[in-house]
Amino acid sequence: MGKEAASAFGRWFALNDFPVNVALKAVCDLSEQVLSWYKMIPTVDLLTSDYKELLARADIDIVYVALPHNLHKEYYLEVLDAGKDLLAEKPFGIDLAAALEIQDAAERMGRFVRCSSEMPFLPGPQRVISEIQSGNLGEIIEIKAGFLHSSDLDPAKPINWKRQNKFCGEIGVMGDLGMHVLHVPLRLGWKPTQVHAQLQKIITERPDGKGGTAVCDTWNNASLHTEVDMAGNRVPMTLEMKRMAAGETNTWYIEVLGTKGGVRYSTKDTKTLWTFKCADEQVWQRMDLGFKGMVFPTITGGIFEPGFPDCFMQMLAAYVAEREGVLKDKFGCVTPEEAVASHYIFDAALSSFANNTVEKINYRTLNEEIRNK
Ligand SMILES: NC(=O)c1ccc[n+]([C@@H]2O[C@H](COP(=O)([O-])OP(=O)(O)OC[C@H]3O[C@@H](n4cnc5c(N)ncnc54)[C@H](O)[C@@H]3O)[C@@H](O)[C@H]2O)c1
């Protein structure tokens, strides 16, 4: 993901009239091979395997940290302590306790902190949000959202840190994909009040890459059946996070249905927005979207279709714009509060599956959780 960020900064000029310039100045990684890739970037003048060297640099304002989940808390806290602002990666700490500590430190120190989730910056999700906010849907009947991968269906795929609880976290696939799924619902104020979770460990052993096998103990798939309170209505919201979804390489989707209309978007069909109208006749209508619908205008023509590097760049632009106070009413990155809320949901999901219960989700404020202890 560090390389992905570097690629976005490298074509910052593609953003039209963007008020803030950025330059990638320094990179830290333990791997010499990874570090040497960054040698081709002219603005980078520090490549190091010692992150303290990077944090000591006075000319660095923002640090993007893309590390295995077990390292999030320690490194995020050090970045904040060093006086830097932070673009964190999801899941924003390996568990709820870590996420709360990071949120607490950011607030105490007054740093600007946001968490990564890029898919909602595509034109499709943006139109989904505006359709919902327009009131065109009437009373909301149900919400479905998900993020689906499939490469884990290959039993010969070697183990990596994301497939081991001690590095990825007890929340498994929820930590990997869940923040992406919840970004839009949480931004719309749809904070589920309860959850019934189905969690699956399907392939429990994988090649260790050294000729042997290793235990794969993370949840592969999660289906969270939640409920959102909308003006007294108990609205079902189903959230899918799967590493084993047949044929889905990186499919992010959302569908919201109401009494008067509906809206549906999936990255599987990147430029297509589906809208539903319920009148004399019931009609699903398909529309092509292009760069015209991007959050931040770019030099790319309005009819051309965007992809992953584009929404990643838009997310970085949103981070920088919000930090500078120029985001205005545009869509912003995941806030620490939203990241912590996602952890409350995942935490309740773990209890729900362990006990086969419907769990209430008890969101608490920082004061209740940490400062009043
Ligand atoms: N936003 C997204 O779409 C997206 C996609 C994939 C991963 N992620 C998130 O990004 C983070 C990293 O995931 P990834 O897929 O890039 O992992 P990765 O394993 O590909 O990369 C992690 C890098 O960290 C380096 N590293 C490990 N320990 C280190 C240390 N102590 N100091 C310095 N460098 C160290 C490794 O050498 C490696 O290059 C995770 O939080 C993951 O959930 C986000």
Atom of ligand 1 nearest to the CA of 308: 3
Q: Which of the four pLDDT bands, split at 50, 70 and 90, describes residue 320?
A: very high
| Structure confidence by residue, pLDDT tens digits, 107-141 | 999 999 999 999 999 999 999 999 999 999 999 99
| Structure confidence by residue, pLDDT tens digits, 328-350 | 999 999 999 999 999 999 999 99
Atom of ligand 1 nearest to the CA of 28: 33
Rounded CA separation 274/257 (Å): 11
* pLDDT of the residue at 36: 97
Non-local (6+) Cβ contacts of 108 within 8 A are none
* Cis peptide leading into residue 91 (ω within 30°): yes
| Structure confidence by residue, pLDDT tens digits, 245-278 | 999 999 999 999 999 999 999 999 999 999 999 9
Instruction: Give backbone dihedrals phi and psi of 264, rounded to 5 degrees, phi first.
Output: -145, 135
Residue in the block written with tokens 């008067």 = 260
Q: Which of the four pLDDT bands, split at 50, 70 and 90, describes residue 372?
A: confident
- Ligand 1 centroid from CA 36, angstroms: 16
Q: Which of the four pLDDT bands, split at 50, 70 and 90, describes residue 368?
A: confident
Non-local (6+) Cβ contacts of 368 within 8 A are none
> Are the beta carbons of 358 and 196 closer than 8 angstroms?
yes
> Are the beta carbons of 6 and 41 closer than 8 angstroms?
yes
| Structure confidence by residue, pLDDT tens digits, 79-107 | 999 999 999 999 999 999 999 999 999 99
Half-sphere exposure of 112 (CA within 13 A, CB side): 15
Confidence (pTM): 0.97
- Ligand 1 centroid from CA 67, angstroms: 4
Q: Which of the four pLDDT bands, split at 50, 70 and 90, describes residue 209?
A: very high
Give the mean pLDDT of the chain: 97
Give the strand pairing for 205-207 and 140-148: unpaired
Alpha carbon separation from 253 to 30, 112, 128 (Å, rounded) = 35, 29, 10
b/e code 121-140 from CB counts within 10 Å (16+ = b): bbbbbbbbbebbeeebbeeb
Instruction: Give backbone dihedrals phi and psi of 188, rounded to 5 degrees, phi first.
Output: -80, 0
Atom of ligand 1 nearest to the CA of 49: 33
> Are the beta carbons of 200 and 193 closer than 8 angstroms?
no
Rounded CA separation 196/219 (Å): 15
Alpha carbon separation from 39 to 3, 35, 312 (Å, rounded) = 12, 7, 22
Give the strand pairing for 140-148 and 251-258: antiparallel
95: left (phi over 0), alpha (psi -120 to 50) or beta: beta
CA 212 vs. chain centroid, Å, equals 33
| Structure confidence by residue, pLDDT tens digits, 16-33 | 999 999 999 999 999 999
* pLDDT of the residue at 208: 95
User: Residue 370: is its pLDDT beyond 80?
Assistant: no
* pLDDT of the residue at 274: 98
For the chain, give the percent of residues with pLDDT over 70: 100
| Structure confidence by residue, pLDDT tens digits, 180-205 | 999 999 999 999 999 999 999 999 99
- Residue to mutate, 1, 73, 314, ligand 1, most ligand atoms under 8 Å from C-beta: 1
* pLDDT of the residue at 308: 97
Signed CA dihedral, 252, 125, 76, 175: sign only: negative
Closest CA to 114 of 339, 283, 347, 272: 339
Strands laid side by side in the 85-88 sheet: 62-65, 85-88, 113-115
* pLDDT of the residue at 371: 74
Atom of ligand 1 nearest to the CA of 116: 1
241 pairs with which residues across the strands?
147, 222
Alpha carbon separation from 243 to 111, 175, 208, 214, 326 (Å, rounded) = 34, 12, 18, 18, 37
Non-local (6+) Cβ contacts of 44 within 8 A are 24, 25, 26, 27, 38
286 pairs with which residues across the strands?
274
- Ligand 1 centroid from CA 350, angstroms: 24
Which residues have CB under 6 Å of ligand 1? 1, 28-31, 34, 51, 66-69, 71, 89-90, 116, 118, 176
User: Residue 66: is its pLDDT beyond 90?
Assistant: yes
